[in-house]
Amino acid sequence: MAEQHGSRSARRYPCEKCPLRPLPAFREFEPQELAYISTFKKGELAVDRGATVLVEGNHSAHLYTVLSGWGFRYKLLDDGRRQILNYVMPGDLIGLQGSVMGEMQHSVEALSELLLCVFERDNLHGLYREHPGLAYDITWLASREERMLDENLLSVGRRTALERAAYLIAFIHARAKVVGLNGKAPVEIPITQQHVADTLGLSLVHTNKTLRKLIDRKLIHWRDGGCEVIDADGLQSIAGWDGLGEGRRPLV
Amino acid sequence: MAEQHGSRSARRYPCEKCPLRPLPAFREFEPQELAYISTFKKGELAVDRGATVLVEGNHSAHLYTVLSGWGFRYKLLDDGRRQILNYVMPGDLIGLQGSVMGEMQHSVEALSELLLCVFERDNLHGLYREHPGLAYDITWLASREERMLDENLLSVGRRTALERAAYLIAFIHARAKVVGLNGKAPVEIPITQQHVADTLGLSLVHTNKTLRKLIDRKLIHWRDGGCEVIDADGLQSIAGWDGLGEGRRPLV
DNA sequence: CGCGGTTTTGAGAATCCTCAAAACCAGTGG
DNA sequence: CCACTGGTTTTGAGGATTCTCAAAACCGCG
């Protein structure tokens, strides 16, 4: 089981009072759909910072939507080299690959306390049968993940170290803002430079020197285990990135 | 329109006689599902080698399944740097991102003559409503693409140049084999070293030197604009890669 | 105060890049 | 048949980027 360490009891948070749904980032749902999602949801799971939510190679019986907190998806090579694939934030669906194809081929770890809505993998077919609209939404979310991966791959493959770093932080910052992470306070991204290194495909040392340039140019602040964006436009302009440009998205 | 240059007339290839479906790589379909797919299919499109099938930024009205041939998905940076995201082969669904989310954020180009089944984007909702099983299949295919991207990102981010090259060629080769590309003859991958470079995130020169090592070790052959695998196991072992390990997959 | 995790710094080495030119090859037109 | 052409592969060389190794500085916490 993946959930054994760092997990907590499952209390109930009614979908009708979901704190995420009212955000302008998400599209409105029919009461009827909402009611179905509510029955689809089996409970909640709280995961501690540093705990592993899903493990590569496992056959997970669950599917999750992030209610609050930060995490990341990653893969490992045999000798321990790690590649972070993407970050997960509120509203993201995790574990879909495992649910639909059988086996997870990546792991997910919590960067902060993570609160998850738990769905039963076996009920997914039922959802597809009874609520084609929601099924479509799930495909939408899968396509969105694919799109983010495309962009990350472009970044790691073809951008310079400085561009990559700027892109990554601008990207995370933009995503976090639309889901209201940290409320109105400036977004504090809870990552270490090691995480950045493993995302960008760089060594820790070189990542440090690259981030230092962004810090010296007053584009970001760096605290121990946290990053705050000062000049998002400046980052975007270095990265040559247009911004998220997403409309409202579904939330399952 | 993306299809204007290099395209040909749409002749009819009945889904019941689809040359792909009997392959062991694909799962069996209910006659009823097959019949629906047949009505879902609006025609065929033949695209010449080098032509662009889908263009970044476009709102495509179509969705395609590759019937035969090779292609690749890619993104460009403003200054022309190109990152190839993945290769497309028979049985792959392309244009889903654009269909489901609105706008394409990557392009697709043909590496050989490409024969495509054309589907109407607008009919996708109908498919979700009437055939939840097929809807599920589409999600399955989207998850599969995501999985391939995860692996590619791991490769570009964390593998050495030699490992990357070995992985890429072993990966393409394995995929091509299960869909019977080139029939029984040894698979000839129709790519140039420039394509490899743009996939691995390396320069052309360094790619050449890296491929030469694989050639000298008699793992692959290289012709002008084509690559043939001699020792797939050798490549996999350099890359530290397990192989596709996929069971049968759906075909829409 | 000591400890573990994180960030910083320095230095030499390996990898990878750019620039530039040559070799090679298939196809085209004379 | 041959010269020409454009695309692809190959080679060399110097330089920039990025890596590894190693150690120090810093910081919150018990």
Residues A186-198: pLDDT tens digits? 899 999 999 999 9
A85-98 in b/e form (b: 16+ CB < 10 A) is: bbbbbbbbbbbbbb
CA separation for the pair B39, B119 (Å, rounded): 9
Topology of domain B7-134, CATH: Jelly Rolls (2.60.120)
Question: Span B170-174, mean pLDDT?
Answer: 98
- φ and ψ at B193, to 5 degrees? -70, -25
List the 159-198 stretch of B: residues with Cβ below 8 A of A.
Answer: 159, 198
**Closest CA in chain B for residue A143:** B97
Helix (H) or strand (E) holding B71, with range, is: strand B71-76
B75 in contact with A at a CB cutoff of 8 Å?
yes
Per-residue pLDDT band for B16 (boundaries 50, 70, 90) equals confident
- Statement: residue B3 has pLDDT above 90: no
Contact B83/A142, CB-based, under 8 Å?
Answer: no
Please, are residues A249 and A27 in contact by the beta-carbon 8 Å criterion?
yes
Query: Does domain B149-239 sit in CATH 1.10.760.10?
Result: no
B27 in contact with A at a CB cutoff of 8 Å?
no
B149 in contact with A at a CB cutoff of 8 Å?
yes
Residue B205 contacts strand C, CB under 7 A:
yes
- Statement: residue B2 has pLDDT above 50: no
**Can A7-134 and A149-239 be said to share one CATH topology?**
no
Of residues A59, A57, A62, A73, the one with CA closest to residue A7: A62
B248 in contact with A at a CB cutoff of 8 Å?
no
> Which pLDDT belongs to residue B174?
97
Which bases in strand D are touched by protein, i.e. have an atom under 7 Å from a CB?
A: 7-13, 17-22, 27-28
- Statement: residue B88 has pLDDT above 80: yes
C26 C1' closest Cα residue: B224
- For the whole model, what pTM was predicted? 0.94
Max CA separation in chain B (angstroms) = 55
Per-residue pLDDT band for B12 (boundaries 50, 70, 90) equals low
**Helices vs. strands in chain B: H and E counts, helices first:** 8, 11
Contacts of B198 in chain A (CB under 8 A): 157
Q: Using a 7 A cutoff on CB, list residues near strand D.
A: A 160-161, 201-207, 210, 224; B 192-194, 204-205, 208-209, 211-212, 215, 222, 224-225
A2-35 in b/e form (b: 16+ CB < 10 A) is: bbeebbeeeeeeebeebebbeeebbeebeeebee
CA separation for the pair B242, A84 (Å, rounded): 20
> Which pLDDT belongs to residue A31?
93
Please, are residues B225 and B188 in contact by the beta-carbon 8 Å criterion?
no
> Which pLDDT belongs to residue A16?
87
Of residues A63, A109, A55, the one with CA closest to residue A86: A109
The set of residues, in sequence order, having a beta carbon less than 8 Å from that of A176 and lying 6+ positions away, is A89, A182, A187, A189
How many angstroms separate the Cα of B176 from the Cα of each of A107, B87, B91, B107, B165? 28, 10, 10, 21, 17
Residue numbers of chain A with a pLDDT score lower than 70:
1-12
C10 C1' closest Cα residue: A205
Distance from CA of B178 to the nearest CA of A (A): 18
List the 91-110 stretch of B: residues with Cβ below 8 A of A.
Answer: 96-97, 100-102, 105-106
Q: Which residue has the tokens 């129709």?
A: B190
Contact B240/A77, CB-based, under 8 Å?
Answer: yes
Contact B128/A125, CB-based, under 8 Å?
Answer: no
The set of residues, in sequence order, having a beta carbon less than 8 Å from that of A243 and lying 6+ positions away, is A170, A174, A236
Average pLDDT, chain B: 93
Mutating which of B103, B123, B156, B195 best tests the A interface, going by the most A Cβ atoms within 10 A?
Answer: B156
Per-residue pLDDT band for B4 (boundaries 50, 70, 90) equals very low
> Which pLDDT belongs to residue B10?
53
Please write the tens of the pLDDT for every residue from B94-117.
999 999 999 999 999 999 999 999
> Which pLDDT belongs to residue B9?
47
Question: Span B68-73, mean pLDDT?
Answer: 97
Distance from CA of A9 to the nearest CA of B (A): 30
Contacts of B85 in chain A (CB under 8 A): 150, 153-154
Residue B226 contacts strand C, CB under 7 A:
no
List the 108-127 stretch of B: residues with Cβ below 8 A of A.
Answer: 124-125
- Statement: residue B1 has pLDDT above 50: no
> Out of A153-167, B6-20, B234-248, which region has the weakest mean confidence (pLDDT)?
B6-20
Of residues A137, A114, A115, A112, the one with CA closest to residue A124: A137
- Residue boundaries of the structural domains of chain A: 7-134, 149-239
Contact A139/B135, CB-based, under 8 Å?
Answer: yes
